[in-house]
Amino acid sequence: MLLTETGPVSEGRDSLVLSDVAEPEPREGEVLLQVAACGVCHTELDEIEGRTPPSHLPMIPGHQVIGEIVARGAGVTGVTVGQRVGVAWIFWACGHCERCAAGDENLCAGFRATGRDANGGYAEYMTVPAAFAHEIPECFGDAEAAPLLCAGAVGYRSLRLTAIRNGMRLGLTGFGASGHLVMMMVRHRYPDTEVYVFARQQEEREFALQSGATWVGDTLEPAPAKLHAIIDTTPAWLPLVKALENLEPGGRLVVNAIRKEDADRPQLLSLDYPRHLWLEKEIKSVANVTRRDVREFLDLAAAIPIRPVIETYALHDANRALRDLKLKHVRGAKVLCAR
């Protein structure tokens, strides 16, 4: 499914074109995957609509990929033909710059993203550097493993960046694919932590209650207690401003979003230093993921075990999946399946 030009995802318009392309060949250090499943992410909407455009066109999107290794390029060791692996947003980082040496390969200046800077998983085959392919625990089926690679991994990183401890109060602003996986992690790792969910849609609020939230409310509602940390997964500015009002002194807001909407930017004018930022409140953004995030989260997901709520589509229905993701209520994660 090729992206040949950017533009709005809307009813009556197919953003991606079903195309026959040559099967890629793995270069030195790469493996060739036969794709079994690929998750559909809000980041694809940002790419297609031009807010986070691909580095070149045409591009095959998709960065939550599960597949089987069917060929290896020269010099590949440590993985075998027939092995099931996953590919996440991090497609490549240099490995030797100051950021990579410090373990922050997500901040590498040469960072390449799957489906944005290199062809991704909305396809039957794709290649990836072997060092950036992740072994998938056997307890997960292909479709349920796919969203773990982004919604799960970036949710794991977000939770880690909150620095929350058991018994603290955590807020989640927005409750979609990532939020419901974070809830499962919190229940496992921090059983005495109360989770407060802010969501615009009634369906999201009901889903959060069913998932174990202590309290749910609209984005504009104040929480019944101040929170030690909040994770914001929305694309808007207003939830960020409101989240700051709900933080304890010294609390931290972690923004798990690749962008914020320009149309909502005037909401920042309501930012008030004493009410929103004083008393050593912090704001920290999440940028990409590292291989460590992906691999630690996959181990945790298997231990819990996490079972994401998913809705599946055929590969050729990718445009419908994208429209559903943008225009309909989201419950869990959407996944394209090759078979």
Question: For the chain, how many structural domains are there in total?
Answer: 2
Pair (196, 308) in one structural domain: no
- Specify the DSSP element, H or E, that contains 14: none
Across 38-53, average pLDDT = 93
DSSP 135-171: EPPTTS-HHHHGGGGTHHHHHHHHHHHHT--TT-EEE
**What residue has token string 């979609």?**
176
Given pLDDT bands bounded at 50, 70 and 90, which one contains residue 332?
low
Same domain, 222 and 203: yes
Q: What is the mean pLDDT of the chain?
A: 94
State whether 106 and 255 are in the same domain. Answer: no
Nearest to 88 by CA among 145, 141, 140: 145
pLDDT at 48 over 80: yes
Residue ranges of alpha helices (H) inside the chain are 42-48, 98-101, 142-145, 151-162, 177-189, 202-210, 238-245, 291-303, 318-327
Q: How confident is the model at residue 176 (pLDDT cuts 50, 70, 90)?
A: confident
Average pLDDT over residues 276-297: 95
Flag whether pLDDT at 201 surpasses 90: no
pLDDT of residue 331: 65
The CATH number of the domain holding residue 247 is 3.40.50.720
* Residue 233: partners with Cβ closer than 8 Å, 6 or more residues away: 158, 172, 173, 174, 176, 178, 179, 256, 257
- Residue 265 reports pLDDT greater than 90: no
Mean pLDDT of 88-102: 97
Average pLDDT over residues 14-32: 97
Q: Residue 304 and residue 283: Cα distance in Å, rounded?
A: 29
- Are residue 175 and residue 106 in the same domain, yes or no? no
Q: What pLDDT does residue 270 have?
A: 83
Whether residues 62 and 210 fall in one domain: no
Q: Higher-confidence residue: 180 or 159?
A: 159
Q: Are residues 199 and 100 in the same domain?
A: no
Task: Supply 271's token pair.
Answer: 């930012």
pLDDT above 70: percentage of residues in the chain: 99
Residues 161 and 251 in one domain: yes
Do 123 and 164 fall within a single domain?
no
Residue 259: predicted pLDDT: 81
pLDDT higher at 113 or 309: 113
Shared-domain flag, residues 185 and 223: yes
User: Two tokens at 238?
Assistant: 């207003």
pLDDT at site 329: 60
pLDDT of residue 330: 59
Kindly report the CATH number assigned to the domain that includes residue 76: 3.90.180.10
Shared domain check, 296 and 179:
no
Give the Cα separation of 41 and 299 in Å (integer). 22
Q: Are 208 and 117 found together in one domain?
A: no
- Of 285, 305, 324, the residue at which a domain comes to its end is 285
* Range 271-295 average pLDDT: 94
Residue 66: the pLDDT is 98
CB crowding 59-87: b at 16 or more within 10 Å, else e: bbbbbbbbbbbebbbeebeeeeeebbbbb
Q: Do residues 247 and 226 lie in contact, with contact meaning Cβ atoms separated by under 8 Å? A: yes
Q: How confident is the model at residue 179 (pLDDT cuts 50, 70, 90)?
A: confident
User: What is the span of the domain harbouring residue 297?
Assistant: 2-150+289-337
Average pLDDT (308-329) is: 91
Which of 285, 304, 324 is where one domain is finished? 285
CA distance 265 to 269: 8
Average pLDDT over residues 279-302: 96
Final residue in a domain of this structure, among 241, 262, 285: 285
> 142 and 210: one domain?
no
pLDDT, greater one: 63 or 200: 63
List pLDDT tens digits, range 118-154. 999 999 999 999 999 999 999 999 999 999 999 899 9
- Of the candidates 86, 91, 261, 289, the residue with the CA atom closest to the CA atom of residue 178: 289
Q: How many CB atoms lie within 10 A of CB 220?
A: 11
- Percentage of the chain modeled with pLDDT above 90: 83
